[in-house]
Structure 1
Amino acid sequence: MNDENDLNVAHVLVLPDRDAAEEAAEELARRYELGAEPEIVREALAGEDDAEDAQWLIVLSEEAGEFSAGELDEFVSEWDGWHETP
């Protein structure tokens, strides 16, 4: 039963560089059969202008499927990243 008040919780996976984010997004789509790669977003660290000083985020909505925090922590650790709790 769907309720109009249900929240669409997004998971955010933080990765150290663009290459890791792209690889992780490809693997996430393949491993969990998402149909499309999740969105990748660059987040510059405060006061930093250099692209090397950025974190790369994979934004994953619950619409893509159900994921446990532990499952995502384990997955993203393969690329030296971490899962942010929304």
Structure 2
Amino acid sequence: MRHLLVFADRDDAEEVAETLAEWFPPLGLPPVVRETLAGEDDAEDAQWVVVVEGLAEGAVARVGELAEKYDGWVESD
């Protein structure tokens, strides 16, 4: 399952990605991408997303807490 950690600030997203790489070394450094929200025309409304794949089910809550610490959230698809 893929998890998307969404943040308003690029620095926050990059710091979370680095933390996840430390917590879960087999996953490596997750990519940070800029994502424009559906229906948004202004580039300022774009969000920063950390893409995490292969996360153990038991780790999702811990990752969610980390995202919340940086005013972000987790979406799963």
Q: TM-score, normalised by structure 2?
A: 0.80
Corresponding position: 1:79 with 2:47 = no
- Cα RMSD after superposing both structures: 1.8
Q: Which structure dedicates a bigger proportion of its chain to helix?
A: 2
Preserved contact between residue 14 and residue 57 of structure 1 (Cα < 8 Å): yes
Cα distance in 2 for partners of 1:32, 1:67 equals 13
Q: Percent identity?
A: 40
Higher alpha-carbon Rg:
1
Q: 1:35/1:43 Cα in 2 relative to 1: closer, same or farther (>3 Å)?
A: closer
Q: TM-score, normalised by structure 1?
A: 0.73
Preserved contact between residue 28 and residue 34 of structure 1 (Cα < 8 Å): no
Q: State the secondary structure of the residue aligned to 1:38.
A: coil
Aligned length: 75
Deviation, 1:67, is: 4.1
Q: Which consecutive aligned stretches of 4+ in structure 1 deviate over 3 angstroms post-superposition? A: none
Q: State the secondary structure of the residue aligned to 2:35.
A: strand
Could you list the runs of 5+ residues in structure 1 that have no partner in the other structure? 1-8
